[in-house]
Structure formats: structure tokens, C-alpha cells
Structure 1
Amino acid sequence: MTDRVAITGANGFVGRALSRMLLQQGREVTGIVRPQATCEPGVQTAHIASLDSITPEAFRNTTAVVHLAARVHVMRDATADPLAAFCATNVEGTLAAAEAARQAGATRFIFASSIKALAELDPGRPLKETDARNPPDPYGLSKAEAEIKLLEYGARTGLEIVIVRPPLVYGPNVRANFLSLMNAISKGIPLPIGSVTAQRSLCYVDNLASALVECTMHPRAAGQIFHVTDGDDPSVAGLARALGRHLGRPARLLPVPVDLLRITARLTGKTAQIDRLTGSLRVDSTHIRDVLGWRPPVSLDAGLAATANWYLATHPVRKKLKSSNNG
């Protein structure tokens, strides 16, 4: 059989990075995406209406599947029953994809989970794969349930299951909170995080892609759960300062005491957001290093530099600032 890897959600942030890496290694790639979605050049595309309607034909001639497609976490979810909506895609859709892949002859199914399947904050030490699951929200609950059911499915059918849990993933084309942070720094907006020493593990997108590639082929990956990070845990304030350095605009950080931030959060109804901001989420990624011999190819600083360079090249607000400063 041809060494072909199928990627659900191949048109997304991680999917494109993974596709490029596989193609560069001479492997064939099938991107399984919704109608009208486009993939990286060189990727064979299979369109599906939804995960619950997926058929074995989408996975034809593939040896391994990387399942990236998911209903993602959003800050304000207006769905009447968020847990049911998350589970429909992230649990039932994932199991449907695994069944279709197995019927098509694929032997390995790599599930891109999330550290939120385990926890929102660490317990005073970096989180390990063996820690008990305590997901904080409907998104995390759905990812945790998918992990459990996938492992049961693999044990029952013989399909090799690999679960990968990254923390926050960043890199060129990043969106959501990481992009908002770069926007604020670039515009010179004061940020009240100068005293926040909480540490956060991160994962550069190409590091995650590299780990996923390794999981498609390493014999010892089968049946494993892996945490994947850059290997450094910057503080919240340290991350902002590093981004400011790479953006060429020092971050304006106000040294607001953390206790004052928490009091303000209680008064404004934003306790959950501030708890996440001021709490540490460190993730131990030694297991994948020990079992697979994998190492992140890109350092944290190099990843932040690449992300900042992309931002400077693509965001006109920053270009205007540079022009006005030069004039």
C-alpha cells in the first residue's frame, strides 16, 4: 500500500503545517475537508459534508490518519447545549472517522486532542499524561470523552490509536487570543500583566506537526498518549516581553498586583478569565521524548520570532505605525 496519510481538517492552521511537512518528506497526503475548502498544493482532496457522514472512500489507500477536524473552543458559545454540540463533533464524529478509516484499511489513527482534556491549570507541577482527567468546560469534556472512547475502540478492533495533547498552539496564521495579544502589543496598548508570573507551556505549530509526523510511523507510538510542547514554559509577562522584542515594539506592561486583578475580576464578573490568566498551565512533554526520541525542532524563541515576522508582514496596522514612527 502507498505510504499515504489522511488528514481531517487539512485546510486548518495545524493541518496546513502538517501537510507541508509530510509532502516535504515525500509522503502522499489526502486532505479530508468540507466542500469548497482548499488544501496545500500537492494534497489530494476528499470533500465531506460532515464527520458523521464520512465513508471509507475518503480514506482509500491510506495507512495512517491524523484527525484534526473538531468543533473548537470559543469564548462566547451561544449554542443552547454546548456540551451536546461539542460531543456531536468531537466524540461521535471522531468515532465515525475512526470506523471509516479502519474499514478502509488504515492501521493507525492519531487523534489531536487538547491539554484541556486533562485540566485548565496545573496542580503546582507540570501535567503528566498519567494525571487524572479533570476537564474544565464542555470542549475539554468532549475531548476527554473522545480519548476514552477511542482507546476502547482501538482495544476492541485492533486499530492503533495515538493521542496527542498540545497546549496553546501558535505560529504564522495564528488566531484567537495569541493574535489579540500581538495586536495589543503592536498598538502599544498597556496590559495589566507585568506582575503575572504564572507560567504557560506553548507549542509552535511546526513542532506539533513534527510530533504528529513521528506518530504516523514510529512503531512505539501505538496506544500512547503524548503531551507535545516547545519544552519551555515562559511566564505570561515574559511571553509578552519576548513578543514585543520580536515585534520591534516593547510591550507596555503595567505591574498590577495579581490580588488586585482578582478583586477586579470578581467585581466585573470575569473571575474565570483572570484565573486562567494568573494561573500556571505547565505541561510535561518528556514522555514523547523518552518513548519516540522526538525533540522539538524549533525553539520557543525561534517560534516567537517566526510568528512575529509573519505578523509584521501581514498586518497593515503595524505597517502604519512603523511608517509614522519613521516620519
Structure 2
Amino acid sequence: MVKVAITGSTGFVGTNLKSYLHDTYHIESLSVRYVPNQKFTIETDVLIHLAGKAHDLKKVSKPDDYYEANFELTKQLFDSFLSSDASVFIFMSTVKSVADKVNGILTEDIVPDPKTHYGIAKYKAEEYILRQKLPESKRVYILRPCMIHGPENKGNLNLLYKLVSKGVPWPLASYKNERSFLSIENLCFIVKTIIENKKIESGIYHIADDEFVSTNELIKIISSVTNKKNVSIAIPKFIIGSFAKVGDFIKFPLNSETLQKLTENYKVSNEKIKKAIGIEKLPNSAQKGLERTIKSFTK
């Protein structure tokens, strides 16, 4: 049986991947952390590198924390992979390694311009991997997922869920946006397919659900799943903007950063990975995946 080692296996993505792959592969959890001049002993066929420091929404982390966990550690693991008998290396990067804001649709051809220490560290890891000469016997994939969601992972979706479930009217209906999400089921499907399909070329792939979803549509989905009346109010943007600016200086539910996250466009193309796999659609639609996630909040 093919051996698959996963770093960061206790996290949300790692836990789901282990469950998804365990019937087909021998799964091992690889505990790793950055130590200078360290070398790892890689005794597996496939190495999936998920471990790292996630984006700190509370902004209390030190910059070095990101570079050690997301760049230096990845560098050490990849060097160890190259000197091992392992044949496949999958690095879980992020779309934030190339763009914090998106005009149009984000594709793999974009010129990277990360803005945060989290994104910059991930991009430096990508650069290092791509600079190394790859033996013909090895395949290497850099995956850039957008916002991943699924049952038991509330994240940012939980904020909207709480709002709707309490019957609070949605006040930002005047904003029209489109953004990409990624269900954990689709991500697991793609990872498994990459392992199995040796014809998929090494390289960078953006990972997202097929459809774009607006925040207003997301509110409707949450309302439908929770059996709550969808009450949306189109307050003029200049009024919302004024409240957000107030929130930048005093404790208030809305500030400029939150407003941007709720109303921005962030569309990610998944055409390259689908073409490589040879499919037209991923197994789960964006709506189906979001409904499954929201239902898990009600339990």
C-alpha cells in the first residue's frame, strides 16, 4: 500500500484528508517544527505539507514566526524530500501568496505581489521549491487554495451565521460582489486525484469551487439552511462607509477592514487544475458545499 505522510495532520485540512485517504493509502502523521540546520528522514511515497502558521486575524504574531514556520520549515522539508525515495510532494500554499486584492479573476499567470508576512513567507517557500532541479522520478505540486470551509470549521462564515441566526437584518445589500470559496470535499478530491494521476504535470495550481458566490447570496443560503427569514437592507454605501471609519477608532462591529472583507471581489480560477485532471466540474457545487458547512453550525 502506498504510504502518505501528512504534516499538520491535526488541523482542519489534515484531519479531513486523513479521513478521505485512509481507505486507499497508509496514512502517517509527520510532526515537524523549524529548527536551524535540521534534516528530516522521509520514509514515505507521498509527502503532503500542510503544517505552518496561519494568517493571524488578531495581528499579535511576530513576522519571524511566519518566515520560520512557512518558509524555513518548508525549505527543510523539501530538501529532505529531494534526497529521499519519496515521489510526490504537495505543498499547501495560499492565494494570499500572490494577491491580497483581485481585479478580474485570479489565475496562475499573475505576477505575485503579496502584502502580508503570511503571504510573503508562503511565496518565498514557493520560489524556493521552483528553483530546485527536479529529478524525473519526482512530482511536485504547489496548491493555492482560497478560503477553505467545511463541517466543524466555522471560521469567518460563523460570523455571518450568527448574524442571520439571530434574525439581525443584513445591512450591506447595496454592495454587489463575487468571491471564491473552497469546500473541503473538493480540496480532498483534488489532492487524491493528484496522487493517483501521474500525468498531472508538476507546478502551481489555484484551487477553488467552480462557482463564484456573492455575500448577498451567502446570506440567502444561510437563511435557507437555518429557516430564517432573509431580511436584507440596502443602506447607502456612503453611510456604511462612514460607520466603518468610526469603527477604525472605537470599538464597533464594523470597521474598514471588516467592510472590505465582507464586500470585496476575490474571484479565483480553477480552470488549470480541472484541465490537468480532465474534468469539467468538481464533485461539489459551491452552494452544496456551503450548505453542508452551514448545517454543521446548527448541530
TM-score, shorter chain, exceeding 0.5 = yes
Deviations 1:71-102 (A, max 9, x none): 001212213x32x2211100001111222233
Distance change (3 Å), C-alpha of 1:261 and 1:159: farther
CA offsets, 1:109-153, max 9 Å, x none? 111111111212221x21101111111311111111111111113
Give yes or no for contact 2:12–2:153 (8 Å, CA) kept in 1.
yes
SS of the residue corresponding to residue 66 of structure 1 reads strand
Q: Distance in 2 between matches of 1:266 and 1:157?
A: 55
Which residue of the other structure, out of 270, 274, 278, is the alignment partner of 2:263?
Answer: 278
Give the alignment partner of residue 105 of structure 1, picking from 85, 88, 94: 85
Q: Report the alpha carbon displacement of residue 171 of structure 1 after superposing the two structures with TM.
A: 0.9
Partner amino acid, structure 2, of 1:237: N
Q: Provide the secondary structure at the position in 2 that maps to 1:176.
A: coil
Q: Which amino acid aligns with 1:289?
A: K
1:64 maps to a residue whose letter is: V
| Conservation of the 8 A alpha-carbon contact between 2:194 and 2:200 | yes
Listed as ranges, the matches of 1:235-250 within 5 Å are 235-250=214-229
1:299 aligns with 2:295: no
Aligned to 1:191: 170
Q: Equivalents in 2 of 1:98, 1:52: separation in Å?
A: 14
Q: 1:234 aligns with which of 213, 225, 234?
A: 213
Partner of 1:22: 21
- Higher mean C-alpha deviation, range 146-155 or range 8-17: 146-155
Q: Which residue of 2 aligns with 1:129?
A: 108
1:68 aligns with 50
* 1:180 corresponds to: 159
Q: Please list, as runs of the form range in 1=range in 2, the aligned pairs for 1:114-153 lying within 5 A after superposition.
A: 114-123=94-103, 125-153=104-132
1:169 and 1:205 in contact (8 A); partners too = yes
Task: Judge conservation of contact 1:246–1:308 (CA < 8 Å) in 2.
Answer: yes
Deviation for aligned residue 1:154: 4.8
Q: CA deviation at 1:15?
A: 1.0
The residue type equivalent to 1:242 in the other structure is: I
> Distance between the aligned counterparts of 2:54 and 2:169, measured in 1?
29
Find the aligned partners of 2:51 and 2:94 in 1 and give their Cα distance: 12
CA contact (8 A) 1:195 1:237 kept: no
Retained in 2: the 8 A contact 1:151–1:161? no
CA contact (8 A) 1:151 1:223 kept: no
Contact 1:121-1:276 at 8 Å conserved across structures: no
| Aligned structure 1 segments of 4 or more residues deviating by more than 4 angstroms | 154-159
What secondary structure, in the 3-state scheme, does the structure 2 residue paired with 1:221 have? coil
Letter of the 2:214 counterpart? S
Q: In structure 2, what is the equivalent of residue 267 of structure 1?
A: 246
1:287: how far off? 0.6
CA deviation after TM superposition for structure 1 residue 286, in Å: 0.5
Secondary structure at the aligned position of 1:219 is classed as: coil
Once the two structures are TM-superposed, the CA of residue 223 in structure 1 deviates from its matched residue by 2.5
Query: Match for 1:279: what amino acid?
Result: E
Cα separation, 2, equivalents of 1:292 and 1:18:
19
- Taking the aligned partners of 1:158 and 1:27, their CA distance within structure 2 comes to 20
3-state SS of the aligned residue for 1:227?
strand
The residue aligned with 1:323 is: none
In terms of mean alpha carbon deviation, does 207-216 or 153-162 score higher? 153-162
Counterparts in 2 of 1:261 and 1:137: CA distance versus 1, 3 Å:
farther
Which structure shows the higher helix fraction? Answer: 1
Do the aligned partners of residues 87 and 251 (structure 1) sit closer, same or farther apart at CA in structure 2, a change above 3 Å counting?
farther
Change (3 A) 1:135 1:261: farther
Match of 2:149 in 1: 170
Q: 2:198 aligns with which of 219, 222, 228?
A: 219
Taking the aligned partners of 2:56 and 2:167, their CA distance within structure 1 comes to 26
Taking a change above 3 Å as real, the CA distance of residues 51 and 221 of structure 1, as seen in their structure-2 partners, is farther
CA shift in 2, pair 1:312/1:273, >3 Å:
closer
SS at match of 2:27: strand
Distance 1:262 1:154, change over 3 A: farther
1:6 is aligned to 5
CA separation in 2, counterparts of 1:250 and 1:119? 36
Instruction: Name the CA distance, whole Å, in 2 between partners of 1:141 and 1:180.
Output: 27
Quote the sequence identity (%): 24
TM-score (norm 1): 0.82
Q: Distance in 2 between matches of 1:154 and 1:183?
A: 49
Report if aligned partners of 1:227, 1:284 keep a CA contact under 8 Å in 2: yes
Residue matched to 1:290:
275
RMSD: 2.1
* Residues 72-83 of structure 1: pairs in structure 2 closer than 5 A: 72-79=54-61, 81-82=62-63
